[in-house]
Structure 1
Amino acid sequence: MEFTEALRGRRMVRSYRPDPVAEDVLGRVVRMVHRAPSGGFSQGHRLVVITAPEPRRRIAEISERPYGERGFPAWISKAPVHLALGVREASYHERYQQPDKLDADGAEIAWPVPYWWFDSGALLTLIQLAAADEGLATGFFGPDPQRLAELRATVGFPDDVALAGIVTLGYGAEEPDDRSSRTTRARLPLDELVTWVR
């Protein structure tokens, strides 16, 4: 697939066909963890690939209620794959305490923003593009703060890995009642989003 086609194919969905995703296809998507940027090549990304029915059912049980309360049909439970995106902040600090990354005073840099979260978002985008290239659709949801401990336990991340969110993955189905923001809001004009300094 051409890059522009993959970009056009990258969209969030809330409806999946029940078809399983072949392991080789899924392997090509999750390999993006090696291509994702990480400050100083800290390699703080972590993924848990969940295809087993029981953990997916439990994740949906924990996470789907808020969508149902807003009138959306079940979608988390319908996705044949859940990818838990994690980030290990300590990887960044460990890397930036190594001699080649210390500041002029010999200390770890003062982080202007938490780049581990920034890099996690970059990994999400690469996963979405790789999925689109494979003819797959994706969705994304963040953990409910009230039930974060339950979700973390279900996903199985160690204590030093934070859960950024979960990507749902599968073959997209028609969305008969698509009330997503994509269909209810207009795109802002480009000149409101981009400033040129020439």
Structure 2
Amino acid sequence: MDFADVLRARRMVRSYRPDPVPEDVVRRIVQVVHRAPSAGFSQGHRLIVVTDPEIRGKVAELIEPPYLESGVGPWVSVAPVLIVIGVREASYHERYQQPDKVTEDGEEGQWPVPYWWFDSGSLLVMLQMAAANEGLATGFFGPHADGLEEVVGLPADVGLAGIMTLGYSDDNDRRVPAKLTNRPKRIPLDDLVTWR
């Protein structure tokens, strides 16, 4: 698929067919973790691929109720794959204590922003693009439910950035749903990009 086609195909969905995604396809998607940015090549990304129906059901029990109450149909429980996106902050600190990264006084240096979280967002986009390239759809939800880390088996030293849903879209209509027609329009490019 041409990159422009991949960009057009990438979108968030909340409606999946329950069809399983072949393991080799999922493996190709998650392999982008090797190409994802990580400050100083810290390699702090951690992924957990969840296909087990029981675990997916427990995640859905924690996440779906507010969506169902607002009129969105089941989607977390239907998506055949959940990809847990985690980040191990300690990997960044360990890397920046290596001889090629320490400051002149032998210290790790200051982190103007927590790049581990920044990098996890970059990884999410790469996973979405890889999924779109495979003809799959994605969604995303943040870590806004108590106990989510335990349900998915996240190690104690890994922070949860969020979970990407993955599967075949059950909604291939590209029109904006009637309930979203009053959403904000795209901000003009010149309001978002400054040229100097």
| Aligned residue identity for 2:48 | V
Residue 185 of structure 1 and its aligned partner are, at CA, apart by 2.6
1:167 maps to amino acid: M
Provide the residue aligned with 1:186 in structure 2. Answer: 185
More helix by share: 1
Runs (5+) with no aligned partner, structure 2: none
- 1:71 matched residue in structure 2: 71
Change (3 A) 1:85 1:23: same
Deviation track 1:166-195 (CA, whole Å, cap 9, x = no partner) reads 000000012789468698331100011100
CA contact (8 A) 1:15 1:175 kept: no
Residue equivalent to 1:21: 21
- For residues 139-162 of structure 1, what are the alpha-carbon distances to aligned partners after superposition, in whole Å with 9 as ceiling and x for unaligned? 000021xx33x1101110110001
For 2:93, the equivalent position in structure 1 comes to: 93
Native 8 Å contact 1:14 1:175 kept in 2: no
Tell me which residue corresponds to 2:153: 156
1:102 aligns with 102
Q: Does 1:168 align with 2:170?
A: no
Instruction: Name the aligned partner's letter for residue 96 of structure 1.
Output: Y
Q: Report the TM-score when normalising by structure 2.
A: 0.94
For residues 10 and 182 of structure 1, the distance between their equivalents in structure 2, rounded to whole angstroms, comes to: 20
What is the aligned length? 194
| Cα pair distance change 1:157/1:195, threshold 3 Å | same
What SS does structure 2 have at the residue aligned with 1:167?
A: strand
Residue 112 (str. 1) matches residue 112 (str. 2): yes
* Alpha-carbon separation, structure 1, partners of 2:143 and 2:81: 17
Change (3 A) 1:119 1:70: same
Closer, same or farther: CA 136–179 of 1 in aligned 2, 3 Å: farther
When the two chains are superposed, the root-mean-square deviation of aligned CA atoms in Å is 1.7
Structure 1 residue 104: Cα displacement: 2.1
* Pair 1:107–1:190, CA change in 2 (3 A): same
The runs of 4+ residues in structure 1 deviating greater than 6 Å are: 179-183
CA distance in 2 between counterparts of 1:14 and 1:105 reads: 51
The verdict on how the C-alpha distance between 1:180 and 1:187 changes in structure 2, with shifts beyond 3 A counting, is farther
1:94-123: per-residue Cα shift (whole Å, max 9, x none)? 000111101122111100000000000000
Whichever residue aligns with residue 141 of structure 2, its letter is: F
> CA offsets, 1:27-76, max 9 Å, x none?
00000111100000000000000011000000000111121222211111
